[in-house]
Amino acid sequence: MLHIVGLGLDDGEITQKGIQAVENAEKVYAEFYTNTETVNIEELKEKTGQSIERLSREEVEQKDKILESARQKNTVFLVSGDPLTATTHYDIKHRAEKEDIETDVVHAPSILISIADTGLNVYKFGRVVTLPENMRPDSIIDHIEKNDSVGLHTLVLLDINYSAEDAAEKLVEMDSELVGREVVVVERANSDEQRISVRDLEDVSGLGETPHSIIFTGETSHKEEEFLEAFR
């Protein structure tokens, strides 16, 4: 049995169902290479009485350590945010099901839900894109333009320790027409230190610790404008 359990974005966001899955597990693994480690695993160990083994990217994606355990034991795999936001985790679920391993997914808050704190309507977001720290994929600009063309907001996810300040500079270099575009910057989403600000892309600076995300606003309603005004 394989339980893929979301930890949420901060302490206390794992659900009661997730806690029970950990308590009843024979083996518990966790990974933090797909997201920043914002949850205190030591506290979770104390609360559940379980030992939690951290896995590297290689152990998750190449060595099939999780599936090997789930074939024989009641196994929990803990991940930051929501379990199925990352393609890697959905692939593990899919491969487990192909091997007739029973699976269970326990959802939790993720950045895709936390962006509602900006006041922007979550139904008005288009294609989500990821901007890597060491790459400049043209597809990001293409997707922003496509979302713009139909009035949708664009959420730009950043690598774990990549600041929105550096990302904004790169985006302007990739497309000078983005100068003057209003963006919403979300810092440390869903944590006690969460901060939301609205500014022009080229003026993104003076930020705190990561993780950060950038939102390009599309067509905004009167109510959305009211909410955004509080962050300007």
What's the whole-number mean pLDDT along residues 158-164? Answer: 92
pLDDT, tens digit (0-9, with 9 covering 90-100), for 116-138: 999 999 999 999 999 999 999 99
**What are 123's two structure tokens?**
């139904």
pLDDT score at 35: 67
- CA distances from residue 119 to 123, 184, 197, 201, 229 in whole angstroms, order as listed: 12, 10, 12, 19, 10
> 21 is in which domain, residue-wise?
2-109
Total number of domains constituting the chain: 2
Q: Compute the distance between CA of residue 28 and CA of residue 21 in angstroms, rounded to an integer.
A: 9
pTM: 0.88
Among residues 90, 109, 128, the one where a domain terminates is: 109
Distance of CA 222 to the CA centre of its chain: 28
Residue 200 vs residue 39, higher pLDDT = 200
Q: Are residues 92 and 147 in the same domain?
A: no
Q: Compute the distance between CA of residue 171 and CA of residue 182 in angstroms, rounded to an integer.
A: 13
Q: Compute the distance between CA of residue 156 and CA of residue 147 in angstroms, rounded to an integer.
A: 12
User: Residue 143: which residues within 8 A CB-CB, separation 6 or more?
Assistant: 126, 127, 129, 154
Q: State yes or no: pLDDT of 149 exceeds 90.
A: yes
Among residues 66, 87, 109, the one where a domain terminates is: 109
Q: Compute the distance between CA of residue 201 and CA of residue 223 in angstroms, rounded to an integer.
A: 22
User: Cβ(14)–Cβ(5) under 8 Å?
Assistant: yes
Q: Are residues 118 and 224 in the same domain?
A: yes
* CATH number of the domain within which 86 lies: 3.40.1010.10
**What are 223's two structure tokens?**
């109510």
- Look over the chain and give the mean of its residue pLDDT values, rounded to a whole number: 93
Q: State yes or no: pLDDT of 176 exceeds 80.
A: yes
Query: What does the DSSP 8-state code read for residue 125?
Result: B
Q: Compute the distance between CA of residue 132 and CA of residue 144 in angstroms, rounded to an integer.
A: 15
Percent of the chain predicted with pLDDT > 70: 98
Q: Are residues 10 and 92 in the same domain?
A: yes
One-letter amino acid at 230 equals: A
Q: Are residues 30 and 58 in the same domain?
A: yes
